[in-house]
Each structure stands twice: as C-alpha cells, then as structure tokens.
C-alpha cells in the first residue's frame, strides 16, 4: 500500500476511512497500470485531494525544467532567430502532434493558437462562410456560456436565427433532438462532446451524420474531451472542432486552445480575424490580405510560443500511456466516485450518467449544501469545484489521480456535510 498511495496523504485522514473503503481504494491503486506516472507531476503543498483536474490540470515536474531551459536557450540564446528555427512552425507542428496523440486527426488539420473563445468565433464564422445561403444556427441551452455567448454575438452581427435545443440538463443532447432541430435552412450546429455539468458524452458520430444529412456543418467543443477520452475526428467525419489545453492536456492557466478543420473543408472556409500570421506570406508585408493555404489560415496573430511549452510534456506522457489506457482509468475513477457517493454520502444525488460509455472524466454530485461544503473543503486541502445551483463537480485527471486520494477527498466531503 505504501508504494501506491500518494506519500503526502495525511495518516489521520487515511485512518478515518472505513476499512472496506480504504482497502478497496488501495487494491485499485495497486492494480492501476498508470499509477507509476503520478510521481511525474509537481507536488502541491497542503493538497490532500485534487478533484478539479477538469478545470486546471496539475503541472508536470518536467515542465519546470522545460520553462527554465527555454529562457536560457531559444529565447536568450537565439532571440529573434528562433522564429526561423522552429517558432513559426510551432502552431502546426504542435497541432499535428496533438491530432495524432489525442484527437484521431491526421496532419495538416489542427493548429494551436488563441483562446477557446476566439477560436470558437473564428471556426463558427468560417463555417458560416461555407454555407452562405443558410441562416439557422443550432445550439443547446445547457452548453457552456462561452459557446452560447459567441453564437449570440455572431447571430446578431449576421442577422441569423439561433435555434435552441433544450436537453435534459442531467444528460445531454441526443441524436433525436438534433434530428428535430436541423433542416434545409441549417448552416451550423455547435455542441459540446462532453457536457460540462453532467459529463454526458454525446453520440458524436451519429450527430455528425445527422447534421451532414441536413447539408449543414458541425462544430464540436472538445474542452472536456481532449486528453481524457479517445477521439476519432477524421474517421467520424467531423467538420470543425475547438478545445482548450489547460484541462486534461495540462497546458497551464491561459494556455492556448486548438482548432481542427477537416482537410476537405479547408478550401471552403475563410476565418474572419485576418491577421498577418495567417496570411499566405507574412513577411511580404503586402497591401492586401491573402489567406494561407491549409490549416495555417486559422492563425491570426503571433503564436503563443511560451504557452505551448507545457503541452509538449503532457502530450509526450499521453503518447506513452496511450489514450485507451487513460480512458480505462478515467471510467474506473468516475465509477469509483459514484460507488462511494451511493454508499457513503447520504442525501447526495449523482447527476452524471451511470453508464460509463456515456460518462466523461468527471462526476456531478448534487446537494443543497454544496456551496458551503466546497468552500470549506478547499480550506482543508480538498479541491473539487462548485457549479450552480447546488452541484459539486469531481473532475478526475487519470494520470495524476489515485483512487485513495479520491476516497479521502470524498470522505472529507462527507464529514463537512455533517
């Protein structure tokens, strides 16, 4: 047990666990083939249980050295020459790596740049340019605010109709709901692959086919998918996708987002933020904008080189571990949370799907006292997050999280519930 339990878990909290729970968690840790990777993450002073890996991933220890060597190496050592020695190609080179490791995307279709919000805007506007004779955009009322807000702004500036799907908030958007919403007037459908509240995994292949049958394009938000759930964007025929990199890709606060545009669509779209880095010849300094060919056209301004550095360490680790193994660990962790909630958290309701195939890498629990409990749990070194009106979200990054850590964290939550 001492080899599988995180060394910084307090002995008194471990002792407070019921024997059967403590033994089950220890057995799961001992059998976990990914357990050996946990000590590759930087330590967090005073942390008991980190249950918010779907909001901000923990940094890898290797990233500390990478950042320091970057300052003394390509930045100080080569200065502006580094643009010619790799920085200019970093957005597409890192995009290709991300596509191969985590997205199921071939080269030349993914680029790392900007924030999620900016890329959602650019991707949505680009899609609408490819369907100029249609004026309906379909989205759902339960999606993350940024997605909804971006579409509201685009609809206002382009005089488009927003058609809202209102799904079950404890599940997510179904193919049947999409089929009822789309039609010959639909230009674009924007949905999240994994619901940020319930963790419901949408049927991406089926929904994508339905949207295509209506002659429309689909834009998937992969913020809660990339790095936690295997994806097959090419095989599933996805048109466009956007995601952040600070959750399961451990890029750090403010790390750049990514956008995927299918190769067959790239000559039909034109993104609206016409910056010089996305032009065909940035250093020609020409009088008029001419977009670059391929995925590079989605870039606008100077690439966020420093923000890309931590991602490289996490993508290397994901590549080593393999996304199928990461997904297996994820479903085991979330299933364990549900079992503990059922057995030991009276009055707490599990909101997330119980079917592991329909559940992402977090679990939403519901209780009227969770706003207070989350605030008090943080003071005790247990860090979930709160989602209104009364949800406690347990976000589990598979490579950095142990079952014993989860058990201790949930037991602290039980104690705070009183």
Active site amino acids: 144, 221, 246-247, 393
Calculate the dihedral angle through the C-alpha atoms of 266, 246, 389, 176, rounding to the nearest 10 degrees: 30
Tokens standing for residue 260:
């995927």
- The CA-atom distances, in angstroms, between 157 and each of 163, 258, 364 are 16, 24, 36
The residue behind tokens 């690439």 is 303
Cβ(213)–Cβ(184) below 8 Å: no
Q: 228 is written with which tokens?
A: 């936690």
Longest dimension (CA), the chain: 73
Neighbouring residues of 139: CB distance < 8 A, sequence distance ≥ 6 = 147, 148, 151, 162, 163, 164, 165, 189, 190, 191
Tell me the two tokens of residue 9: 């878990």
Which residues lie closer than 8 Å to 310 by C-beta, 6 or more apart? 59, 60, 63, 66, 67, 250, 251, 252, 255
Angstrom distance (rounded) from CA 297 to CA 303: 13
Select from 339, 372, 376 the least CA-distant residue to 356.
Answer: 339
Residue 199 to residue 338: CA distance in whole angstroms:
13
């Amino acid at each position: 047990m001492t080899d599988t339990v995180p060394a910084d878990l307090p002995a008194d909290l471990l002792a407070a666990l019921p024997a059967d729970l403590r033994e089950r968690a220890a057995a799961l840790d001992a059998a976990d083939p990914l357990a050996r990777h946990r000590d590759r993450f930087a330590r967090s002073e005073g942390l008991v249980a980190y249950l918010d890996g779907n909001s901000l991933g923990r940094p890898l220890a290797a990233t500390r050295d990478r950042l320091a060597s970057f300052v003394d190496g390509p930045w100080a050592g080569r200065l502006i020459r580094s643009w010619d020695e790799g920085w200019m190609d970093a957005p597409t080179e890192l995009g290709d790596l991300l596509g191969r490791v985590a997205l199921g995307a071939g080269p030349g279709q993914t680029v790392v740049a900007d924030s999620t919000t900016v890329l959602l805007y650019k991707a949505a506007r680009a899609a609408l340019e490819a369907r100029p004779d249609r004026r309906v955009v379909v989205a759902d009322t339960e999606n993350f605010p940024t997605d909804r807000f971006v579409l509201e702004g685009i609809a206002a500036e382009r005089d488009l109709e927003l058609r809202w799907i209102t799904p079950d908030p404890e599940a997510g958007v179904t193919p049947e709901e999409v089929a009822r919403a789309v039609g010959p007037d639909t230009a674009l459908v924007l949905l999240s692959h994994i619901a940020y509240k319930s963790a419901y995994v949408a049927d991406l292949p089926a929904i994508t086919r339905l949207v295509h049958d209506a002659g429309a394009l689909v834009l998937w938000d992969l913020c809660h998918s990339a790095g936690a759930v295997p994806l097959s964007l090419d095989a599933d025929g996805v048109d466009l996708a956007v995601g952040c990199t600070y959750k399961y890709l451990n890029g750090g606060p403010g790390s750049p987002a990514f956008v995927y545009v299918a190769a067959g669509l790239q000559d039909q779209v034109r993104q609206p933020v016409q910056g010089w880095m996305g032009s065909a010849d940035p250093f020609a300094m020409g009088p008029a904008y001419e977009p670059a060919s391929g995925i590079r056209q989605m870039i606008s301004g100077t690439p966020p080189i420093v923000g890309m550095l931590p991602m490289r360490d996490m993508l290397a680790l994901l590549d080593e571990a393999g996304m199928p193994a990461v997904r297996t660990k994820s479903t085991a962790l979330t299933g364990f949370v549900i079992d503990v909630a059922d057995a030991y958290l009276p009055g707490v309701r599990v909101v997330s799907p119980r079917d592991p195939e329909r559940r992402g890498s977090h679990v939403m629990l519901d209780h009227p006292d969770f706003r207070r409990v989350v605030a008090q749990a943080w003071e005790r070194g247990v860090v979930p997050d709160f989602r209104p009106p009364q949800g406690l979200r347990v976000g589990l990054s598979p490579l950095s999280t142990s079952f014993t850590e989860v058990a201790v964290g949930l037991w602290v939550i039980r104690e705070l519930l009183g």
